[in-house]
Structure 1
């Protein structure tokens, strides 16, 4: 896994619905090693971590650098990354890679460490100007704008299309 994957993981958890265990498992489907082992206690922990990630990203979006620094450092201190060098089984043809937590780490601690690390690396790599919150009404999904012109307003093409179609229909009614 590279830093971009950890950044995506941080955003996935920040935007995840944590209503119940099955919903969270579905939200984290891209991480089967962790999601398949989640427990009710992990759910409680990850609700708090997701809220903290949202608070951190909101601070980045708002330019509140002191709050951002304090919250990300709190996450890193609470869920410190413990990198481990690993290599997949030969039959999997996997390259060398780094896991952010030991394989024996409980799922919530591993996910939280990866998310905290991903958020920190995203801020180091992209600064705070590229973090955003979807402009679509009732969406509120956070994203990282990696476009060349830094003009992204929506979390996805789906939200952008919805807003643009609604605006088009409103203009036609007028």
Structure 2
């Protein structure tokens, strides 16, 4: 995994429905190595991690750099990454070099928590705190990272943007 993937993990955990094991597994579906190993006992830890991620993201959206610093450092202290180089999954005998944030025998919850904490920290290092947002669509509170050139993103997805634009169009037509 590279740092961009860890940012995605952080956002997935922050935005995830953590009410059930199936919902958590759906949130980390792109990493079956984690999804298949997570259990019911891991849910309280992941909920705590998600709460910390959300506090940091809310602080970024609100422009509170000190809270961002405190929340991310709290996450990193509680779930420290233990980076190790890995080289599996390549083609033609060439390894696919990447970094894991936990040892090969670490419980899945430890790796997910460390990946989310590390991902958010690396996201701030690479993008600052101005490019994080919360979807402005009615009924959607999804956090996102705005990597657009003009930093004009207001919605988490084209689906939410289209829904709001269609609703605005229909409201104008009714008037």
Tell me which interval the TM-score lies in, with the shorter structure as reference length. Answer: over 0.9
Q: Which runs of 5+ in 1 are unaligned?
A: none
The residue aligned with 2:169 is 168
Partner of 1:112: 113
Q: Give the aligned CA root-mean-square deviation in angstroms.
A: 1.2
The TM-score with structure 1 as length reference comes to: 0.96
Instruction: State how many pairs are aligned.
Output: 174
Return the offset for 1:43.
1.1
Asked if residue 30 in structure 1 is aligned to residue 30 in structure 2, the reply is: yes
TM-score (norm 2): 0.96
1:62-73 equivalent positions in 2, closer than 5 A: 62-73=62-73
Which residues in structure 2 correspond to 1:4-23 (within 5 Å)? 4-23=4-23
Sort the Cα spacing of 1:162 and 1:117 in 2 relative to 1 into closer, same or farther, 3 A. Answer: same
Task: Tell me what 1:130 maps to.
Answer: 131
- Poorly superposed stretches of 4+, deviation over 6 Å: none
CA distance in 1, matches of 2:40, 2:53: 20
In structure 2, relative to structure 1, the CA distance for the partners of 1:94 and 1:132 (3 Å cut) is same
Alignment of 1:11-160 (within 5 A): 11-88=11-88, 93-160=94-161
Gapped runs of 5+ residues in structure 2?
none
What CA deviation, in whole Å up to 9, does each residue of 1:29-59 have, x standing for no partner?
0111011111111111101111110111110
The Cα of 1:90 is off from its aligned counterpart by 5.9
Distance 2:41 2:139 in 1: 29
Q: Secondary structure at the match of 2:38?
A: coil
Per the TM alignment, residue 94 of structure 1 is displaced from its structure 2 partner at its CA by: 3.7
